[in-house]
Amino acid sequence: MSANQHRKKLLSLFEENQDGVIYLRGAEIMYRYGTDYEYPFRQESNFWYLTGVDEPDYHTIIDLKSGDFHLFMPKRDAQYAVWHGRIKPVNEVQETYNPDHLHYDHELLTVLKELNPETIYCLNEEQAEFMEDLSRNFQVDTETLTDVITYCRSIKTDDELEKMRRSAEINNGAHLEIMKTIKPGMNEYETKAIFDYFQKKNGLLQPAYSGIHAAGVNSAILHYTDNNEAINDGDLYLIDAGYEFEGYASDVTRTYPVNGRFTGDQAAIYQVVLDTMNKTIEMVKPGVSMEELHMAACRIILHGLKEIGIVKGDVDVMMEKNIFALFFPHGLGHFLGLDTHDVGGYPKGVERIDRPGIRFLRVRRELQPGMVITIEPGIYFIPALLKPAILNAEQAAFLNIDKIESLYKFGGIRIEDNLIITENGYENLTDVPKEIKDIEEVMA
C-alpha cells in the first residue's frame, strides 16, 4: 500500500501530463568477487520505496503522462527452479505488488517504444547507460529524479513512521539484552552474537549497517568494525548497532561500563555527554536546523569538559578555536529511514561547512514534521587528534595536558537516540536506559 502512496507523492512533484517516464532498475544478487558466495539480498532503497518489491532482478517504469506503474519481472527458466526454488507465478506477482501493467523484463524496450517518452528520468549514470544501450533514441535525464525522490524520502508518511516505530521497538529490546548480559571476560564478537540473535529471533534479518561492538580503547575508533577483542573488567563498552524492519533502520548507541559500575572518570565524562544529549534533544522542533543543534552541542561539551578539568579557559574563545572538535570530531546526527544515513541531508546547492567537526555533519536543513533524525553526541580520547593539539601552542593553552594524557586509554562515549520530528517537537523512538543510575540498576 505504501509504495502506491510514494508513487503518488513522487508524481505530484512532476508537471502534470509531462511527456516522460521514470525508469528504475532494482537490485540484483551480489556475489563475492566472482565466486558463488551470495550476499544476503537487499533491495535498492529507492526502488523499494517506489515499488514495494523486495526481490531481485525487477525493473519499473512509471509513466508521468498517465501515472501508470509498469513492473517488469524476471523471466526465470527451469534451471532457476532447480537451484533457487519455486518460480513465482505471474498472478502472484500481480497480487503482491498490484502494478497497472505487469511485463517480463525482456519486454522493456517494446514497452518503452510504445510509450515513446520525450525524456527518461534515471537515478544515475549507470542506469542511464543501461537505457542508452537499450536504444539510442531516447533522451535521458539523470539530474531530476534523484532530487525528487530524495525530497519525498526525507519526509516520512504515517506508514513509514509506523515501520520505524516497529523497528525501534525491537532494536530497543536488543540493546537492553546486551546491557543485561555483558560481563568482563566476554569477547566483542559474543556481545555481537547476542545482539544479532535477539534481532533474528524477533524477525529482523538485515543489519542496517556494520555494527560497532567496541570495548576499552576500541570505543574511541569511530567506525570500529573488527569486533573481535576481549572485553575486560574496567572497560567501557560502546555499542552502535541496529537492524532494519521492512527496510527501515534503527541506529542506536549506548556506552556503559562492562562491569556495571561507572568509575569516577567514566561517570564524569559520561554525564557531560548525557547532558549534551538531553539538552540538544530538548531543542528539537520544526524550524531548528541541524547545524544549530550541532553547535549548541559543541558548546555544552566544552562547558562540561571545563567543569571536570579536562579543558580550561573561556568557552567562547574555545568555540572560536574549535577546541570541541578535538573531543567531538563527528556530526551530531543524520537522517534515518530506508538507509541508516538517509538521503536528503544536503539539498542541491547546499555545501558542507569547512570547519573541524561540523564538516562531517550529514544534514544541513531545517527540521520539519515527518523527518526522522538521530542525535548522537560523543566525547572521545583519540591520541591521533590530541597529541598534535598538545604540540600546538595555540590549542595546548586550553588543554589540561596531564589529565588528557592520563586518558589516552579511556576510549570514547557516544549516546544515540532516534527521533521523529512532530508538529510541536519530537517523538523519541529510543527507549534504552541512558541515565547513570538506570544503567547501573539494569546491570546490577
Active site amino acids: 36, 223, 240, 251, 330, 334, 341, 376, 380, 414, 416
* Binding status of residue 342 toward Mn ion by CB under 5 A: no
Kindly state the smallest distance separating residue 334's Cβ from Mn ion, in Å.
6
Residue with cell 572560536: 320
Kindly state the smallest distance separating residue 249's Cβ from Mn ion, in Å.
9
- Nearer Cβ to Mn ion (188/339): 339
* Binding status of residue 339 toward Mn ion by CB under 5 A: no
- Nearer Cβ to Mn ion (246/251): 251
Strands 372-375 vs 243-245: parallel, antiparallel or unpaired = unpaired
Instruction: Report how far residue 108's alpha carbon sits from residue 90's, in angstroms, rounded to the nearest whole number.
Output: 16
Stretch that binds Mn ion, among 4-12, 250-258, 301-309, 343-351 (CB under 5 A): 250-258
For residue 357, the SS3 value is: coil
Residue with cell 589516552: 408
- Nearer Cβ to Mn ion (304/377): 377
CB distance 155 to 6 below 8 Å:
no
Residue closest to Mn ion (Cβ): 251
Residue with cell 537499450: 134
Kindly state the smallest distance separating residue 409's Cβ from Mn ion, in Å.
25
Stretch that binds Mn ion, among 6-14, 123-131, 267-275, 366-374 (CB under 5 A): 366-374
* Binding status of residue 255 toward Mn ion by CB under 5 A: no
| Cα-based torsion angle of the residue sequence 171, 173, 174, 179 in order, rounded to the nearest 10 degrees | 130
* Binding status of residue 167 toward Mn ion by CB under 5 A: no
Q: Which of residues 30-49 bind Mn ion (CB under 5 A)?
A: none
User: Number of residues in contact with Mn ion, rule: CB under 5 A?
Assistant: 2
Task: List, in order, residues 6 or more apart from 10 with CB less than 8 Å away.
Answer: 22, 50, 62, 148, 149, 152
Quote the radius of gyration of the chain (alpha carbons, Å). 25
Q: Which of 251, 339, 342, 417 touches Mn ion by CB under 5 A?
A: 251
Kindly state the smallest distance separating residue 207's Cβ from Mn ion, in Å.
13
* Binding status of residue 246 toward Mn ion by CB under 5 A: no
Stretch that binds Mn ion, among 23-31, 370-378, 405-413, 431-439 (CB under 5 A): 370-378
What are the two backbone dihedrals, phi and then psi, of residue 137, each rounded to the nearest 5 degrees?
A: -85, -5
Q: Which of 199, 374, 418, 430 touches Mn ion by CB under 5 A?
A: 374
60 forms beta bridges with 24, 71
Tell me the DSSP string of 209-245: S--EEEEGGGGG-TT-----SB--TT-EEEEEE-EEE
Stretch that binds Mn ion, among 60-68, 170-178, 188-196, 245-253 (CB under 5 A): 245-253
**Cell triple for 362:** 550529514
Residues near Mn ion, by CB under 5 A: 251, 374
